[in-house]
């Protein structure tokens, strides 16, 4: 009999404690971010899709078309092509295509890049209904930027 009442009282008490906690939380400030109206700035190390980095002075790409990133990529989403040109040492980058639909953002390509020609972008608001929108032409993007 004592157990019966004990259970009743301790049970009711636990329920009251629960209510006290939630009402306290109710009057605390909101912690969420109202997304479309405000958005976060990504941290410096954020791994977005990759982007060609322009040289600080000329704005030209640092890519030497060695193809290391293409080989390092586990998903095969990078296509790099270059050509020999008169008067230029080494190859010149003509095509740098990233198929972002396959990319798993592992960062192997950036690590494998010796001249530091690619880096992560901080873009995360990527949405589209068309697959083609995610096949990026990074050479063009670099040109547009500079």
Residue 126 in the binding site for other proteins (CB under 8 A): no
Residue 116 in the binding site for other proteins (CB under 8 A): no
Least separation in angstroms between CB 34 and other proteins: 7
Residue 15 in the binding site for other proteins (CB under 8 A): yes
Do 66 and 55 form a contact (C-beta atoms < 8 A)?
Answer: no
Which CB atom, from 29 or from 87, has the smaller least distance to other proteins?
Answer: 29
Which CB atom, from 67 or from 82, has the smaller least distance to other proteins?
Answer: 67
Least separation in angstroms between CB 41 and other proteins: 12
Bridge partners of 84, per DSSP, are 91
Which own/partner pairs from 44-47 qualify as long-range (CB within 8 Å, at least 24 positions apart)? 45/120, 46/120, 46/122, 46/124, 47/105, 47/107, 47/120
Residue 45 CA to residue 37 CA, distance in Å, equals 24
Residue 16 CA to residue 10 CA, distance in Å, equals 10
Residue 34 in the binding site for other proteins (CB under 8 A): yes
The sign one gets for the Cα dihedral 124, 63, 131, 72 is negative
Stretch that binds other proteins, among 37-45, 61-69, 78-86, 93-101 (CB under 8 A): 37-45
For the record, the structure tokens of 66 come out as: 């060695």
* Chain residues that interact with other proteins, rule: CB under 8 A: 4, 7-8, 10-12, 14-15, 17-19, 21-23, 25-32, 34, 43-47, 72-74, 104-108, 111, 120
């Amino acid at each position: 009999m004592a157990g019966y009442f004990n259970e009743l009282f301790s049970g009711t008490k636990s329920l009251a404690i629960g209510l006290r906690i939630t009402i306290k939380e109710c009057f605390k400030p909101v912690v969420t971010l109202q997304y479309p109206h405000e958005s976060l700035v990504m941290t410096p190390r954020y791994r977005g899709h990759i982007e060609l980095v322009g040289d600080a002075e000329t704005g030209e790409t640092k890519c030497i078309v060695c193809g290391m990133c293409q080989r390092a990529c586990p998903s095969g989403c990078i296509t790099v092509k270059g050509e020999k040109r008169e008067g230029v040492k080494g190859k010149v980058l003509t095509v740098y295509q990233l198929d972002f639909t396959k990319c798993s953002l592992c960062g192997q390509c950036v690590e494998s890049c010796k001249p530091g020609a690619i880096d992560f972008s901080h873009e995360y608001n990527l949405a589209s209904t068309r697959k083609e929108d995610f096949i990026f032409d990074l050479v063009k993007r670099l040109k547009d930027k500079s």
